[in-house]
């Protein structure tokens, strides 16, 4: 039994081990977890990696305090009575199998709607049905399967978690030991024949051994642990050759001083770990800086309508909203901040937060939560606090809005890492065998130098640092992308499709005229109140035209995408939109943009709008036409065709009278024919097409149209530079490829000197992290240089 290992956690089993289904378990806790996984069809967990979580040590009653509603309320991010959302810090998350188990909690507890892991932060965000379970049961479940959440007072407030300083401590230990070992090695370097030094040479060697022990057991422990876990899972990760080099240097050096063969390689060992950690620290600080700049700078160009004390409506940036502000939320708008419903009837879709699309009815005086989408008419809410941009970012990145995109560069890096590690081990052992017959004195130097110098770390850094820096640069230019993989997809598009209204044209119009029967004050008030609820560009323009008229509270409001609006107050009703929607038999003015109007099923007339197109459309389209295929999809009729033909390159395909479903099917058809499509729209009638396309870009102007279905948000003022952003993405991919080539060349040159015995391990230890640092510096400088030419 002593040789058996626990099937769940991998720890050695003792005489008290538990047997179950011909499997050994070190304790009853591990057996219980296996039974849970086995009964819920989660046995695949053990194929990913045994010992993913730690052995459960849950004590009954430990989480009883979570049964207190006041305490639980401080930890919850979202709570509407039906669904609750909580984010737990799980210190034991450390591998892919941890992620797999924690993101499949709904198989263990059906009351869990979904769970999402943030691996770098070691957190899991869980959405569950509050009517069927509670926070206490969630915490108990996590503890039972070996992922006990760390809960403290910091979780109930906005305080940042303390920075993990372990790397700094490891670096300090390695640096202290390296300096002292180098000092103690001076007599060995210069072979000084001095009685006192010769007399205590053995003492100096054992002091070097003593300094090297904490280097191996603490400073370099992460490399050894990572390599062990990789080998145990039959996976050769990039830490295997590093760990092997550390162990070979330490064991060989210990044998040398034990049998008085020499002074060993303790200086090379401590130098190797010190410079490895120095490179790791530099990478961590650089990447943290990039992430911080993106989080801090990437405020979405999204605004909200605030109602001031004079009942006047004003457009303000969401980050200017203060507690106590009265906000107007129109149909289809996202609620940017928690608040209390003051006016109107709310039908809220919380799928952006909970993943479930069933709308929730909210009455006056009840609480509304940030992230909900209003599906009914206009409502007014009283803000409970400031808008959290980080919360909007998290909603945007939520898995609900699409499958996670995997970067092919990440996949390529993983493949290179696996094969390169195997190649390095093969070269190291082959070189050692060769020198064993040629010059045995060089075996250890060659073997360790090969293991150290030829590490694919630099290759692994090329893609994340390049695309991370490009995200930051694009953000400064008001082009906000969801994640780094979007840059890669953006570089690969070969077809760009544009919406017309609100995208090619602005939300302003050169001329608006009305033709038809005069409207009574009551009809005008009803018209304005109906238009007030909509975010469509035509609606917003007509609403501004009627700003002097009164507003009434509607009894009923409906918005039919691609067709028009319906409003009702008492016995009076109104329809605004296409001729078919307002029940008009024939369409007048077929060569112009027209919005028809009827009240109480009686046709009244129509508004004629002369579109105003964005500056720089013609140069942009000429530039894009040289790189990709372009086309226009519009929900309007073809009254603007002649004007567009002048602005667009010859023979540009244009399709009019397209419903939202038509747009989605059109994009899908292009993809089926092998096209990689980018859709550019305003996020209103284009949400389906934006989500379907390979890259969906939502244009944002001065209204609160936050579209999580898109991959990027572009400030309307930067629309004319879209071609530059596509070109920059392609050049960023070129920088990554160049980084791969440089890294491979470095490794080949380094291997040559290492195999031929011309490279000492300590020199290799210095060059290896320097190669990683050089790749980071190269990618950062190259992308910054590229960014100077992006407007």
DSSP 154: G
The model's pLDDT over 293-324, given as tens digits with 9 standing for 90+, comes to: 665 445 455 678 888 887 888 877 777 888 88
Quote the mean pLDDT of the chain. Answer: 79
Predicted confidence (pLDDT) at residue 108 exceeds the cutoff of 90: no
Q: For residue 300, what pLDDT is reported?
A: 55
- Whole-angstrom Cα distance, residue 517 to residue 531? 19
Look at the pTM and tell me if it is higher than 0.75: no
The model's pLDDT over 28-60, given as tens digits with 9 standing for 90+, comes to: 556 666 676 666 655 555 554 444 444 445 556
CATH number of 64-156: 3.40.50.2300, 3.40.50.2000, 3.40.50.880, 3.30.70.100? Answer: 3.30.70.100
Give percent of the chain with pLDDT exceeding 90. 12
The model's pLDDT over 192-218, given as tens digits with 9 standing for 90+, comes to: 666 666 677 788 889 999 999 999 999
Predicted confidence (pLDDT) at residue 665 exceeds the cutoff of 70: yes
Predicted confidence (pLDDT) at residue 1 exceeds the cutoff of 60: no
Task: List 343's β-bridge partners, or say none.
Answer: 380
**Beta sheet of 564-569, edge-to-edge order:** 505-516, 602-613, 593-599, 572-577, 564-569, 556-560
The band of 455, judged by pLDDT with boundaries at 50, 70 and 90, is low
- Whole-angstrom Cα distance, residue 89 to residue 111? 20
Q: For residue 782, what pLDDT is reported?
A: 92
- Whole-angstrom Cα distance, residue 261 to residue 255? 8
Q: For residue 217, what pLDDT is reported?
A: 93
Predicted confidence (pLDDT) at residue 711 exceeds the cutoff of 80: yes
What fold, for 477-503+614-729?
A: Rossmann fold (3.40.50)
The model's pLDDT over 763-777, given as tens digits with 9 standing for 90+, comes to: 776 776 677 778 878
Q: Which region among 560-564, 618-622, 695-699 has the lowest average model confidence (pLDDT)? A: 560-564
Q: For residue 55, what pLDDT is reported?
A: 46
**DSSP string spanning 283-319?**
HHHHHHHHHHHHHHH-----EEEEE-TTS-EEEEEGG
Q: For residue 155, what pLDDT is reported?
A: 45
Q: For residue 704, what pLDDT is reported?
A: 55
DSSP 649: P
Q: For residue 9, what pLDDT is reported?
A: 61
- Whole-angstrom Cα distance, residue 198 to residue 193? 7
Q: For residue 672, what pLDDT is reported?
A: 92
From residue 219, alpha-carbon distances to 26, 208, 247, 267, 270 in Å are 30, 15, 13, 15, 9
Task: List 479's β-bridge partners, or say none.
Answer: 714
The band of 404, judged by pLDDT with boundaries at 50, 70 and 90, is very low
**Beta sheet of 339-343, edge-to-edge order:** 313-317, 303-307, 326-329, 379-383, 339-343, 367-368
- Whole-angstrom Cα distance, residue 45 to residue 51? 10
DSSP 5: B
Q: For residue 54, what pLDDT is reported?
A: 47
Predicted confidence (pLDDT) at residue 496 exceeds the cutoff of 90: yes
Structure tokens at 542: 């007509």
Q: Which region among 74-88, 404-418, 757-771 has the lowest average model confidence (pLDDT)? A: 404-418
Compute CA 403 distance to the chain's CA centroid, rounded to the nearest angstrom.
Answer: 12
The model's pLDDT over 123-141, given as tens digits with 9 standing for 90+, comes to: 888 989 888 888 888 888 8
Q: For residue 157, what pLDDT is reported?
A: 46
Q: For residue 702, what pLDDT is reported?
A: 58
The band of 678, judged by pLDDT with boundaries at 50, 70 and 90, is very high
Q: For residue 21, what pLDDT is reported?
A: 67
Q: Which region among 124-128, 461-465, 524-528, 631-635 has the lowest average model confidence (pLDDT)? A: 461-465
The model's pLDDT over 222-280, given as tens digits with 9 standing for 90+, comes to: 888 877 877 776 666 667 777 877 888 788 889 888 988 777 778 878 887 887 787 77
**Of the candidates 255, 130, 251, 270, the residue with the CA atom closest to the CA atom of residue 212:** 270
CATH number of 507-613: 3.40.50.300, 3.40.50.2300, 3.40.1110.10, 3.20.20.60? Answer: 3.40.1110.10
Predicted confidence (pLDDT) at residue 163 exceeds the cutoff of 80: no
Q: For residue 666, what pLDDT is reported?
A: 92
Q: Which region among 29-43, 50-64, 68-82, 670-684 has the lowest average model confidence (pLDDT)? A: 50-64
Write down the domain spans for the chain. 64-156, 171-269, 303-401, 477-503+614-729, 507-613
The band of 758, judged by pLDDT with boundaries at 50, 70 and 90, is confident
CB 535 within 8 A of CB 561: no
What fold, for 303-401?
A: 2.70.150
């Amino acid at each position: 039994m002593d040789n058996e290992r626990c099937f769940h956690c991998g720890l050695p089993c003792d005489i008290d081990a538990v047997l179950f289904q011909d499997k050994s378990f070190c304790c009853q806790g591990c057996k219980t977890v296996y039974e849970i996984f086995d009964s819920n069809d989660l046995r695949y967990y053990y194929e990913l990696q045994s010992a993913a979580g730690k052995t459960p040590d849950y004590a009954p009653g430990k989480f009883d305090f979570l049964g207190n509603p006041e305490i639980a309320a401080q930890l919850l991010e979202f709570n509407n009575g039906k669904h609750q959302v909580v984010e737990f810090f799980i210190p034991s998350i450390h591998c892919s199998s941890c992620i797999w188990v924690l993101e499949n909690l709904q198989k263990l507890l059906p009351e869990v709607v979904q769970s999402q892991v943030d691996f770098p932060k070691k957190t899991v965000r869980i959405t569950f049905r509050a009517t069927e379970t509670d926070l206490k049961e969630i915490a108990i479940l996590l503890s039972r399967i070996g992922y006990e959440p760390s809960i403290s007072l910091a979780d109930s407030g906005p305080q940042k978690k303390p920075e993990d300083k372990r790397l700094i401590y490891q670096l300090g230990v390695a640096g202290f030991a390296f300096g002292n070992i180098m000092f103690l090695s001076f007599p060995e370097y210069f072979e000084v024949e001095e009685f006192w030094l010769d007399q205590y040479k053995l003492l100096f060697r054992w002091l070097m051994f003593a300094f090297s022990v904490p280097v191996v057991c603490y400073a370099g422990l992460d490399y050894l642990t990572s390599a062990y876990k990789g080998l145990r899972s039959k996976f050769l990760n990039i830490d295997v050759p590093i760990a092997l080099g550390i162990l070979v240097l330490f064991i060989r050096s210990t044998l040398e001083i034990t049998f008085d063969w020499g002074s060993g390689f303790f200086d090379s060992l401590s130098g190797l770990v010190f410079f490895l950690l120095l490179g790791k620290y530099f990478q961590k600080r650089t990447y943290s800086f990039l992430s911080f700049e993106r989080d801090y700078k990437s405020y979405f160009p999204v605004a909200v309508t605030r109602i001031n004390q004079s009942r006047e409506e004003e457009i303000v940036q969401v980050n200017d909203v203060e507690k106590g502000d009265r906000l107007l939320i129109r149909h289809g708008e996202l609620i940017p901040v928690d608040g209390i419903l003051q006016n109107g009837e709310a039908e809220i879709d919380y799928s952006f937060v909970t993943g479930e699309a069933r709308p929730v009815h909210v009455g006056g005086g009840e609480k509304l939560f940030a992230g909900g989408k209003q599906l009914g008419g206009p409502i007014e809410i009283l803000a409970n606090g400031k808008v959290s941009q980080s919360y909007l970012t998290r909603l945007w990145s939520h898995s609900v809005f699409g499958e996670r995109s995997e970067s092919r560069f990440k996949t390529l890096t993983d493949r290179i890492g696996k094969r390169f590690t195997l190649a390095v081990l093969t070269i190291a052992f082959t070189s050692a065998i060769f020198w064993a017959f040629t010059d045995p004195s060089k075996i250890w130097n060659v073997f360790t130098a090969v293991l150290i110098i030829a590490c694919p770390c630099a290759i692994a850094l090329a893609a994340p640092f390049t695309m991370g820096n490009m995200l930051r640069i694009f953000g400064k230019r008001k082009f906000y992308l969801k994640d780094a993989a979007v840059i890669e997809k953006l570089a690969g598009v070969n077809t760009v499709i544009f919406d017309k209204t609100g995208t090619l044209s602005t939300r302003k119009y050169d001329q608006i005229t009305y033709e038809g029967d005069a409207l009574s004050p009551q009809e005008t008030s009803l018209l304005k109140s109906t238009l007030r609820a909509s975010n469509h560009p035509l609606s917003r323009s007509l609403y501004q035209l009627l700003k002097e008229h009164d507003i009434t509270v509607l009894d009923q409001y409906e918005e039919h995408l691609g067709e028009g609006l319906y409003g009702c107050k008492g016995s009076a009703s109104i329809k605004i939109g296409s001729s078919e929607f307002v029940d008009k038999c024939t369409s007048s003015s077929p060569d112009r943009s027209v919005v028809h109007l009827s009240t109480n099923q009686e046709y009244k007339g129509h508004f004629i709008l002369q579109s105003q197109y964005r500056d720089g459309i013609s140069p942009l389209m000429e530039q894009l036409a040289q790189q990709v295929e372009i086309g226009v999809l519009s929900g309007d009729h073809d009254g603007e065709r002649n004007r567009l033909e002048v602005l667009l390159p010859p023979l540009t395909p244009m399709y009019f009278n397209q419903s939202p479903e038509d747009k989605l099917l059109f994009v899908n058809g292009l993809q089926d024919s092998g096209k990689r499509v980018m859709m550019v729209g305003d996020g209103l009638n284009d949400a389906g097409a934006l989500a379907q396309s390979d890259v969906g870009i939502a244009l944002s102007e001065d209204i609160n149209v936050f579209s999580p279905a898109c991959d990027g948000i572009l400030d309307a003022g930067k629309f004319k530079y879209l071609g530059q952003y596509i070109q920059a993405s392609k050049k960023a991919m070129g920088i990554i490829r160049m980084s791969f080539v440089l890294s491979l060349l470095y490794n080949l040159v380094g291997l040559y000197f290492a195999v031929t015995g011309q490279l000492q391990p300590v020199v290799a230890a210095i060059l290896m992290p320097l190669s990683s640092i050089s790749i980071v510096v190269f990618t950062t400088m190259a992308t910054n240089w590229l960014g100077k030419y992006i407007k």
